Amino acid sequence: MNSPSPLSNLWVTGAGGLIGHHFAAAAARLGRWNVIPLTRTDLDLLDQSSVAARFQSEQPAVVVHCAAMSKTPACHANPQLARRTNVDATRQLAELLADGRFIFFSTDLVFDGRRGNYTETAEPNPLHVYGETKVAAETDVRRHPRHLIVRTSLNFGTSPTGDRSFNEEMLAAVRSGRKLSLFTDEFRNPLTVDATVTAVLELLLAGATGTVHVAGDRRLSRWEIGEFLARRHPELRGMIAPESLRSYQGPPRAPDTSLDCSKARRLLGRIIPGLRPETGP
């Protein structure tokens, strides 16, 4: 009797973060691959020789690249590190994976937010270093013959470190005594991390390639998102207040980076559910 063929390896970078952690767990449950979750402790993606050596040893058939320097202020403070992390490391992984599937997580913040409802073919115009590095990385990833670029929005959920999702960041700020002003005229398409992971796994299994927007079906303002959280965390009451971008003075902000997810809807045969402020996720 023949023994079953060994499962091919699937790397998930950024497995200590929000999407990477949940993706690795969900992919492992499917049993289709030997899932190898990689945190910064497991593999320093900035150490190119270590990355190449481990890649040659494990020969992954799929790389799901979630790792990134994603905090906008941190990228602004250290643009060189942001480029090494978000662009150079991405390019190396895509080049190493010559014959496999490369899934790259990008962001709605590649757009300037002047009009919203962006399709995959809309021209990026980022307003900050983080968005610029993601646009540059996307350009490199498109050279890979079997790439899938996933642009997503704010993800709701729980991360291993407790500080990676927007809801964790907001709660941490309020619990430290900070009052938050939330814009009523700045819009995103938030969704749960489970919805993101489920959609991307389906796209991976379906062999989808190119660029696909994976975001919630509800366009919500920052203030509406805050109200959503306040219904679940009463300590936010009295600590959040509505504000308009018209009164904001600071680094440029994109007012409406909402994404048109019609392509994902066609590929999946369903909508991707967003947050429901009136009822829940």
Beta strands in the chain (DSSP E): 9-13, 34-38, 62-65, 101-107, 147-152, 155-156, 180-183, 187-188, 191-192, 210-214, 220-221, 240-243
Tokens encoding 75: 């990228």
- Distance separating alpha carbons of residues 115 and 258, to the nearest angstrom: 9
Residue 273 confidence (pLDDT) = 97
Residue 152 confidence (pLDDT) = 98
- Distance separating alpha carbons of residues 181 and 185, to the nearest angstrom: 12
Residue 158: beta bridge partners? none
CB contact set of 31 (below 8 Å; sequence gap of 6+): 7
3-state SS, 19-68, equals HHHHHHHHHHHHCCCEEEEECCCCCCCCCHHHHHHHHHHHCCCEEEECCC
Q: Is 43 left (phi over 0), alpha (psi -120 to 50) or beta?
A: beta
Tokens encoding 255: 């007012």
As averages over each run of 10 residues, the pLDDT of the chain (281 residues) reads 78 98 98 98 98 98 98 96 98 96 98 98 98 98 98 98 95 96 98 98 98 98 96 95 95 96 98 84 52
- Quick check: 100 and 147 in contact, CB under 8 A? no
State whether the Cα torsion 103-170-71-220 is positive or negative: positive
Residue 44 confidence (pLDDT) = 98
User: What domains sit in the chain, N to C, each tagged with a CATH number?
Assistant: 9-157+190-218+258-268 (3.40.50.720)
